[in-house]
Amino acid sequence: MMSFTDGIIPARFALMSAYTIITIVALYSRDPNVIACLPDHYSNEEYNHKDFSLKIGYFAALGLVIFELLGFVSGISTFMPMATLA
Q: Do 26 and 65 form a contact (C-beta atoms < 8 A)?
A: no
* Contacts made by residues 68-74, CB under 8 angstroms, sequence distance 24+: 68/16, 69/16, 69/20, 72/12, 72/13, 72/16
pLDDT of residue 19: 92
pLDDT: which is higher, 55 or 73:
55
pLDDT of residue 78: 64
| Least confident range of 22-31, 35-44, 55-64, 77-86 | 77-86
User: Could you tell me the pTM of the whole model?
Assistant: 0.73
pLDDT of residue 84: 57
